[in-house]
Structure 1
Amino acid sequence: MRRSNVGFSLRPSRCTRFLLVLAACAVGALWTLPADALQCTSNNGYTCTPATQYAGGFKPGAGYGGFGGGNCTATRTPVVFIHGNGDSATSFDMPTAAVAGYAKPARSVYQELKAAGYNDCELFGVTYLSDVERSNPQANYHEPWTYNQLKTFIDAVKAYTGKSQVDVVAHSLGSSMALAMIKYHGYQGSVRRFVNIAGGIRGLQTCRFTGYQSPLAPTCNAEAYVYPYNHYTFGLYPSTGVTWYGYNRWTGSGSGSMRTMPASYTGIRFYTITAGSRDQVHCFMTNKRDCASGALFNARANVIAQVDVGLGSGSYQYDWDWADGSPYNAGGGDTSQGVGHFRSLANTGIIVRNMLTTTCAGACSNGYVGAHGPASAL
């Protein structure tokens, strides 16, 4: 999976990345909006236009923008939002969408937590992908460079708030990226609760069409297998369970996989929100093997709740060329009739609030189920 072997030229060089980080920090220093300034100012229906919206002197020194900070004091465990592939931190303020037969949720995920009493010194998000990477989502994969960015950001949040732990709310690629970061850095003591929304915990079945090593879609590759071998560099190819081609311990069923991580990190409370078979990134009609369970952890005492909010049709075909920036298509749940990969984030602020602020287990969908759509405890 190294760039020189599988065509990773779309990703900027280490030197270029360093310069981009410095530029992002400079922008963050200049752009200090009011404490409640997080806004998804424009969107394409799936993702928000990225922006740097730091305030109150918060300067994380990591990433390519984000939000958080203000003239306030953190009394709660701060929340760190980690976005998905091709996306930015501001998408946690993505406006909710109407679904036929149900009431439209009143608030985004971010605004739902604000309504629950969180202030801007308790809510932070980092855009960990550069402009180039957001424009080429098929080229993004898991690697220590990004783990270091996430850890640096969370360390900055802890220092700024004076808290020893954070709650992580992650969507899609952000979920697997954050899990790999925790393992890579032995960082479990810094995380209190982990909310996984539509993460590729068991890989993406859609990636079976690209093959386990593809120069066109590195995000779908298996573990890196060229010299020098580093299993912390990997994509979301579902593990074949064999010892060489297609092997990916992260998406497999063994003790080192993402689905089994709650067993290793018993001090963290884990939660999942999924669209199940209606998730058009995980599933498509021609191959639905295991796709409905792609975002799920194995059951454990510290896996508190896993909720399926999927609604509408399944996905009908694989988007072969990814010209729209992602392997999703309009046949998935995210239509006027349903909830799929993106609305499982945008429309579920009430469930996220319950997961972070209560001891909910099967009742994490209180206030959502029936009013805004179906929600089934798994």
Structure 2
Amino acid sequence: MLRASHDPHSAGLPPRPPGALPALACVLALCWTGQAAALQCSSDNGYTCTTTTAQYAGGFAPNVGYGGFGGGDCTASRTPVVFLHGNGDLAASLDMPPGAVDGYATPPRSVYEELKAAGYNDCELFGVTYLSDVERQYPQYNYHEPYTYDIVKTFIDRVKAYTGKSQVDVVAHSLGSSMALAAIRYYGYQASIRRFVNIGGGIRGLQTCLYTGYQSPYAQTCNAEAYVWPYDYYTFGLYPSSGVPYYGYNRWTGSGSGSLRTLPASWTGIRFYTITAGLYDQVHCFTTNAGNCASGALFNARSNVIAQVGVGFGDSAYAFDWDWADGSPYNAGGGDTSGGVGHFRSLANTGVIVRNMLTTTCTTGCTSGYAGTYGPAGNL
């Protein structure tokens, strides 16, 4: 079973693949601080960017993680945005080109480009790749642990120091959402966050993990809370909590106080938003009626949970295989594969919505400019 560790090599279940690098080690090729003018997703696989070169500029040298972007010949006047990518992904995917959606116009800009068009400059947009090359190649072995939280917190500290701002806005996709929330809680860091945009995060766990079981040597991403001595509450996977200690118990994905879905109740100074593909999300769902998968990315309703928007469209998710034998972080089907919007396009296609969430006080109107033009969307 998973156990507490500050070293990926020694974490409880079978260790991550040989060659996995310590999470805080700075890979030289990815820590280069050359003068890239802006983030560019120069290559992609249809779902995520595959651009690995660090794109830092203007003297911004965070020296943490495995690459990223941000900085330039400019001054930050807005609250800076920090992007945290999903499992198997990297920071450049904030610039992933949108995909075509049947019956609708293809959004003309990525999330990054949409924010630039809204007036953000390069000294206000940042992202960090918190997974090493090996960890990105083996997404099934990645889970939440303090070792990685330190990357998230340190990077935000460096952004605050570079911009002179006391807070940042977090835009997080998939594993990045739950990783960021756990890091904020681990460090008591909520005062440093102004707005939090959760895109397809496993806030209530992943229903797809029910097949693998609550402790699996092949899909540690799907494991429940750590229960082997020395026990560490902050080491966990995304198994939906069974509520039964030692048998799939996972306070993070459960419904009790302190779970991911209830954190807004404790952090009243943060404005929370969600964008989700629901049943069309091939990471959350494995059949068209997979229990609670449609609500898997949703926070509990609170006054500071400002808007939670559904953008899913196309085919509902289903599964070809559920054993992770191919190392795939997603199942077959879903909106992304059918001219719709699934797990990955809920990020790539929703720049207009993210812009609204960061730059306005929208509640019911966060889909303005998107709904009906680029796809169906509405509050949940």
TM-score w.r.t. structure 1 length?
0.95
Give yes or no for contact 1:83–1:171 (8 Å, CA) kept in 2: yes
State the secondary structure of the residue aligned to 1:339: coil
Structure 1, unaligned runs of 5 or more: none
Q: Residue 212 of structure 1: CA displacement?
A: 0.5
Q: What are the equivalent positions in structure 2 for 1:24-173 lying under 5 Å apart? A: 24=28, 27-29=30-32, 31-36=33-38, 38-49=39-50, 50-173=52-175
Q: Residue 27 of structure 1: CA displacement?
A: 4.3
Cα RMSD after superposing both structures: 1.5
**Which amino acid in structure 2 is aligned with residue 135 of structure 1?**
Q
Q: Residue 315 of structure 1: CA displacement?
A: 1.5
- For residue 249 of structure 1, what is the aligned residue in structure 2? 251
Give yes or no for contact 1:86–1:325 (8 Å, CA) kept in 2: no
Percent identical pairs in the alignment equals 73
Q: 1:302 to 1:124 in 2, by over 3 A?
A: same
**Which amino acid in structure 2 is aligned with residue 7 of structure 1?**
P
**Which amino acid in structure 1 is aligned with residue 336 of structure 2?**
D
Give the distance between the partners of 1:325 and 1:342, measured in 2 at CA.
17
> Could you give the per-residue CA deviations for residues 248-287 of structure 1, whole angstroms, max 9, x where no partner exists?
0000000010000000000000000000111011012175
- For residue 291 of structure 2, what is the aligned residue in structure 1? 289
Query: Is 2:40 the counterpart of 1:8?
Result: no
Give the distance between the partners of 1:130 and 1:371, measured in 2 at CA.
37
Q: 1:75 to 1:209 in 2, by over 3 A?
A: same
Q: 1:224 to 1:373 in 2, by over 3 A?
A: same
TM-score w.r.t. structure 2 length?
0.95
Give yes or no for contact 1:21–1:63 (8 Å, CA) kept in 2: yes
Q: 1:231 to 1:368 in 2, by over 3 A?
A: same
Structure 2, unaligned runs of 5 or more: 4-9
Query: Is 2:352 the counterpart of 1:359?
Result: no
The number of aligned residues is 372
Q: 1:282 to 1:129 in 2, by over 3 A?
A: same
> Could you give the per-residue CA deviations for residues 329-377 of structure 1, whole angstroms, max 9, x where no partner exists?
3411102421000000000000000000000001000000000000020
Give the distance between the partners of 2:90 and 2:35, measured in 1 at CA.
18
Q: Residue 137 of structure 1: CA displacement?
A: 0.1
Give yes or no for contact 2:177–2:201 (8 Å, CA) kept in 1: yes
Give yes or no for contact 1:206–1:318 (8 Å, CA) kept in 2: no
Greater than 4 Å deviation, 4+ residue runs: none
**Which amino acid in structure 1 is aligned with residue 374 of structure 2?**
H
Query: Is 2:27 the counterpart of 1:23?
Result: yes
- For residue 371 of structure 1, what is the aligned residue in structure 2? 373
- For residue 230 of structure 1, what is the aligned residue in structure 2? 232
Q: 1:193 to 1:286 in 2, by over 3 A?
A: closer
> Could you give the per-residue CA deviations for residues 123-182 of structure 1, whole angstroms, max 9, x where no partner exists?
000000000000000000000001001000000000000000000000000000000000
State the secondary structure of the residue aligned to 2:75: coil
Give the distance between the partners of 1:327 and 1:141, measured in 2 at CA.
12
- For residue 6 of structure 2, what is the aligned residue in structure 1? none
**Which amino acid in structure 1 is aligned with residue 75 of structure 2?**
T
State the secondary structure of the residue aligned to 1:76: coil
